[in-house]
Amino acid sequence: MSLGPVMLDVVGKELTADDIRRLQHPLVGGVILFARNFESCAQLKALTASIHAVRQPPLLIAVDHEGGRVQRFREGFTKIPPMRAFGHIWDKHPRKAKELAVEAGYILAAELRAHGVDFSFTPVLDMDYGDSLVIGDRAFHRDPQAINELAFSLMQGLKKGGMAAVGKHFPGHGFVVADSHVSIPVDEREFDQIAQNDMQPFVRMIDEGLHAVMPAHVIYPKVDEKPAGFSPRWLQKVLRERLGFNGVIFSDDLSMEGATVAGDVTARTLAALNAGCDMVLLCNRPDLADELLENLQWNISAQSIARLARMHGAAHPADMVSLRESAGYVEAVKRMALVGQQEADLFA
């Protein structure tokens, strides 16, 4: 059975019979984990092993684990600072900031891989305009050049730790104030303004081999009346054709308020897949997951299957004990603990 085009969540800290039933459905291809799925490192590793054992090839396992306030697993994991911290250091010490971003990516990836997670939805490539309610300190910087350099460094660290990178939220979520989790943001700018600013980090990262992209649940009415994640113009004409991107396109969560413009859950999913998404996310609504799996009819393309297969994590330490015996990992963790202090010193 090949991977399907739908990524779901699971209810708790171990798989239930309903979880297993859903995950065995041919339309499913992945699982996204949340803080509620974590109790301890041993429990997490057992959970991911049970998810991978459900079927072959194994389902992809993902998590939003960026650092700062978006870090789902805490106890037993290194505290990763928000990406803005690296941007602040970059202002005074660009080389040091890039070195630290590599180490942050490596720690993040190596620890998740040691627990059986295939990839994290990171890095955020949005520009920090200072107004967004949902992006905030998740963004590296306002300057596209700083974002380019720091995001590329983080991606190198992720690769070293055995993990692909996912750039989000294409073509840029940082300009609008509204939070697409609870409303439908609208960005009134012209295409050229977006292309010359917000899209630049995506252009650079795609040129450098970015594996995956997540579009924004934002409407850019000067370009298309549909949110980017449901727009063939954004995903096929701009992202695929103009930027030459050939990696995975993941939808953002289809249970978010910003996705409701596309109709019921099946209509939203079809809109995202027809627009060009390879895989859609549906989180925190098992009732909608059942509805979707019952009603959706979709034959995933061989191209999408091949793209998704590349998101499986690379070889990794068998456990955290092995990782902590690595001098490189130990040194990286020590330096990460100093990032907050280094940032504070810059503003002292």
Confirm whether residue 72 is marked as ligand binding.
Answer: yes
Residue 1 forms part of a structural domain: no
Which pLDDT score is estimated for 242? 97
What range does the domain containing 117 cover?
6-346
Of 252, 253, 278, 316, the catalytic one is 252
| Residue scoring higher pLDDT (28 or 319) | 28
Q: What is the pLDDT of residues 244-260, one digit of tens each?
A: 999 999 998 888 655 55
Confirm whether residue 64 is marked as ligand binding.
Answer: yes
Torsion angle defined by CA atoms of residues 259, 33, 7 and 53, in that order, rounded to the nearest 10 degrees: -170
Encoded amino acid at 227, one letter: P
Average pLDDT, the chain: 92
Pairing of strands 65-67, 70-71: antiparallel
pLDDT range class, residue 182, cuts 50, 70, 90: low
Which pLDDT score is estimated for 136? 85
| Residue scoring higher pLDDT (348 or 226) | 226
Pairing of strands 224-227, 219-220: antiparallel
Which pLDDT score is estimated for 172? 94
Mean pLDDT of 98-124: 97
Q: What is the pLDDT of residues 311-343, one digit of tens each?
A: 999 987 778 999 999 999 999 999 998 886 665
Verdict on whether the full-model pTM lies above 0.75: yes
Cβ–Cβ contacts within 10 Å for residue 108, how many? Answer: 26
pLDDT for 144 beyond 80: yes
pLDDT for 125 beyond 60: yes
Is 181 considered catalytic here? yes
Encoded amino acid at 275, one letter: A
Q: Percent of the chain, pLDDT > 70? A: 93
On whether the CB atoms of residues 184 and 261 are closer than 8 A, the answer is: yes
Which pLDDT score is estimated for 317? 76
Residue 40 forms part of a structural domain: yes
Where is average pLDDT lowest: 144-158, 178-192, 269-283?
178-192
CATH number of the domain enclosing 324: 3.20.20.300
- Overall number of domains in the chain: 1
Which pLDDT score is estimated for 318? 76
Of 93, 143, 181, 290, the catalytic one is 181
Which pLDDT score is estimated for 183? 66
On whether the CB atoms of residues 282 and 8 are closer than 8 A, the answer is: yes
Residue 208 forms part of a structural domain: yes
Confirm whether residue 138 is marked as ligand binding.
Answer: yes
Measured distance CA(17)–CA(54) in Å, rounded: 11
Residue 170 forms part of a structural domain: yes
